């Protein structure tokens, strides 16, 4: 079997070949969305990192621009590679890129520096060529900082004093405290270290920080510099220790330039995650065209390096771009939903409302089939009383939830659940990826809900990661349904539970349940029937990504 094809995605962003990791410097500029990404032009594993570049009119159909928007060298400050960074719009509308240079100052000492790149022709909507500032590096680590743990500048924001501010992800020299160094500048070229805006002991290196305002009400996004009584701020960090992206909603004090999470148990790096599966090094940008804040994140592979090198020839995809906003009901969660442009790929709708998913059922749905699907289901919430001890958001709770998901697995027979979907399944169910709700019934008779994504039987291959992912999902008393949306694209399964309050993304590599041999089933392994309020499914059309012709 040609292993490269069944696993290439049909509507997620990925380069034609080679390695890709973090999304960088996304923006909307003169009619085009721009996505840059960490890319190895020479191979399917990480190394030789440059900024690849693609553009799109709609966030779904992409054209590759080039593989060398920013390349390391020839000067010392980024000789070994151009690492992650962000775009900021200067006063005159020019997009300016801040990025990390990886450099060898000597044969034994390697360090990270922060650098500035600007468009050669800012009238070019495609922003094809970039030049590096003569002032580079524009930031170097202070003597007391660890210069090897000093990277990934955020989009800069402007304070009321007229100064630009950016954050650099870092780890203190105690080796355990994750932190974010705040730098300020009048002219975007000369930057001075001010202080650390926030730090949390025990979290380790903070990669790819992201810091932005969200409106207290409504779904609209905000420009990064907006700060007033009608907004909260979000700080997101990517923990190098465990490769998860954590966010915290809190307060940014403009006077002291400090950030504090609203709840100590959901602080930066220890509380809520954007995604409880494979999703890392994410970044948001403000889409000026539609006033949305949009999140991009990298989904690494779960198969072996050997597969990347010998059969696939590529590694890494970007998750679907997600619109995010503050959950009006909880004020601590962010809601994430694939941008509505993705719905333009819907074909062959299948709908069925108001039916029972009986205890023990494994049920095909006629017309729902194949490796490219969007499944949206609302289950009626069971009559049992809900627990007040809802998910607190702490990492301890997340660990407990993940353990419960693994112990439970799709094959477990519970009381209320597991119930949900089997995707990328063969007819004999030897291979299947199960995404399900499981309602944990507590001693006092109340329940807590979990959403799990079980890869344990996703593939007959041995050398792929088959971890079961999952977490508690916050279900409000006022909510009548347990809802899930699962999007399948060959080797990726993205699930948005409770309208996007909780998200889990998996990478899977079936061997027989591929292409037209990939089947779909609803299942209920609990001892109680479950009521399906609504079921809607679509086949997803493929997107052909092309090289831009100049
Ligand atoms: N990837 C980049 C770094 C960043 C890491 C290097 C996160 O800048 O910290 O490719 O995945």
pLDDT of residue 412: 79
> What is the residue extent of each domain of the chain?
22-340, 347-540
pLDDT of residue 386: 75
Ligand 1 centroid – CA 364 distance (Å) = 42
CATH number of 22-340: 2.115.10.20
pLDDT of residue 394: 57
pLDDT of residue 397: 66
Ligand 1 centroid – CA 309 distance (Å) = 21
Which segments in the chain show pLDDT lower than 50? Answer: 1-3, 391
Q: Is 22 a catalytic residue?
A: yes
Q: Which two tokens stand for residue 248?
A: 């915290």
pLDDT of residue 3: 45
ipTM of this model?
A: 0.99
Ligand 1 centroid – CA 315 distance (Å) = 15
Picking from 423, 540, 13, 16, the residue whose alpha carbon sits closest to that of residue 5 is 16
Ligand 1 centroid – CA 49 distance (Å) = 9
pLDDT of residue 396: 61
What separation, in Å, do the N-terminal and C-terminal C-alpha atoms of the chain show?
36
Ligand 1 centroid – CA 82 distance (Å) = 10
pLDDT of residue 384: 80
Correct CATH for 347-540 of 3.30.450.20, 3.40.640.10, 3.40.190.10, 2.60.120.560: 2.60.120.560
Asked whether 84 lines ligand 1 (CB < 6 A), one says: yes
Picking from 172, 191, 193, the residue whose alpha carbon sits closest to that of residue 182 is 193
Question: In a 3-state reduction of DSSP, which class is residue 38?
Answer: strand
Q: Count H helices, E strands: the chain?
A: 3, 37
The pTM of the full predicted model, rounded to 2 decimals, is 0.96
Q: Report the distance separating Cα 385 and Cα 388, nearest Å.
A: 9
Tokens 């679509």 sit on residue: 538
pLDDT digit string, tens, across residues 230-276: 999 999 999 999 999 999 999 999 999 999 999 988 899 998 999 99
For residue 207, give the ligand 1 atom closest to its CA. Answer: 9
pLDDT digit string, tens, across residues 499-545: 999 999 999 999 999 999 999 999 999 999 999 999 999 999 999 88
pLDDT of residue 2: 43
Asked whether 151 lines ligand 1 (CB < 6 A), one says: yes
Question: In a 3-state reduction of DSSP, which class is residue 77?
Answer: helix
Asked whether 40 lines ligand 1 (CB < 6 A), one says: no
pLDDT of residue 390: 53
Picking from 266, 270, 311, 522, the residue whose alpha carbon sits closest to that of residue 417 is 522
Question: In a 3-state reduction of DSSP, which class is residue 189?
Answer: coil
Nearest residue (by CA) to ligand 1, atom 6, is: 83
Residue from 22, 24, 147 whose mutation best tests the ligand 1 pocket (most atoms within 8 A of CB): 22
CA torsion sign for 29, 31, 36, 41 is negative
Q: Report the distance separating Cα 545 and Cα 550, nearest Å.
A: 16
Instruction: Decide if 22-340 and 347-540 have a common fold.
Output: no
Residue from 81, 281, 318 whose mutation best tests the ligand 1 pocket (most atoms within 8 A of CB): 281
For residue 298, give the ligand 1 atom closest to its CA. Answer: 11
């Amino acid at each position: 079997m040609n292993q490269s094809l069944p696993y290439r995605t049909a509507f997620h962003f990925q380069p034609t070949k080679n390695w890709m990791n973090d999304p960088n410097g996304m923006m909307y500029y003169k009619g085009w969305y721009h996505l840059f990404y960490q890319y190895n032009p020479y191979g399917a594993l990480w190394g030789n990192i440059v900024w690849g570049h693609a553009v799109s009119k709609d966030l779904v159909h992409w054209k590759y621009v080039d593989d060398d928007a920013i390349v390391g060298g020839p000067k010392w400050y980024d000789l070994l590679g151009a690492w992650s960074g962000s775009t900021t719009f200067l006063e005159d509308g020019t997009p300016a890129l801040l990025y990390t240079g990886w450099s060898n100052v000597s044969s034994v000492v390697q360090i990270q520096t922060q650098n500035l790149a600007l468009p050669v022709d800012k009238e070019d909507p495609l922003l094809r060529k970039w030049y590096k500032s003569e002032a580079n590096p524009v930031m170097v680590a202070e003597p007391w900082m660890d210069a090897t743990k000093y990277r990934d500048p955020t989009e800069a924001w402007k304070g009321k004093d007229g100064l630009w501010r950016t954050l650099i992800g870092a780890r203190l020299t105690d080796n355990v405290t994750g932190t974010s160094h705040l730098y300020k500048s009048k002219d975007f070229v000369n930057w001075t270290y001010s202080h650390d805006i926030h730090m949390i002991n025990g979290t380790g290196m903070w990669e790819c920080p992201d810091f932005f305002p969200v409106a207290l009400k409504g779904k609209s996004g905000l420009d990064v510099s907006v700060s007033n009584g009608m907004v909260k701020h979000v700080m997101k960090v990517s923990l190098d220790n465990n490769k998860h992206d954590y966010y915290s909603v809190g307060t940014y004090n403009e006077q002291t330039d400090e950030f504090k999470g609203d709840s100590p148990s959901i602080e930066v790096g220890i509380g809520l995650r954007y995604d409880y599966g494979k999703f890392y090094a994410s970044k948001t940008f403000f889409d000026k065209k539609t006033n949305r804040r949009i999140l991009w994140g990298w989904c690494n592979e779960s198969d072996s390096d050997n597969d990347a090198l010998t059969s696939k020839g590529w590694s890494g995809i970007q998750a679907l771009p997600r619109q995010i906003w503050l959950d009006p009901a909880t004020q601590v969660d962010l809601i994430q939903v694939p941008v509505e442009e993705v719905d333009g790929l819907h074909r062959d709708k299948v709908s069925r409302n108001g039916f029972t998913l009986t205890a023990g059922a494994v049920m095909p749905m006629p017309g729902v089939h194949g490796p490219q699907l969007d499944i949206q289901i609302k289950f009626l919430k069971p009559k049992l009383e809900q627990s007040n001890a809802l998910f607190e958001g702490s990492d301890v709770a997340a660990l407990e939830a993940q353990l419960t998901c693994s112990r439970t697995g799709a094959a477990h027979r519970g009381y209320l659940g597991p119930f949900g979907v089997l995707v990328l399944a063969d007819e004999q169910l030897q291979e299947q990826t199960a995404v399900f709700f499981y309602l944990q019934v507590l001693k006092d008779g109340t329940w807590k809900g979990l959403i799990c994504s079980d890869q344990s039987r996703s593939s007959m291959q041995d050398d792929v990661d088959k971890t079961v992912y999952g977490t508690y999902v916050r279900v409000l008393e006022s909510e009548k349904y347990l809802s899930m949306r699962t999007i399948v694209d060959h080797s990726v399964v993205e699930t948005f539970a409770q309208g996007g309050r909780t998200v889990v993304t998996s990478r899977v590599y079936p061997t027989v349940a591929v292409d037209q041999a990939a089947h779909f089933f609803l299942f209920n392994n609990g001892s109680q029937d479950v009521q399906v309020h609504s079921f809607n499914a679509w086949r997803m059309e493929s997107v052909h990504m092309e090289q831009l012709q100049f």
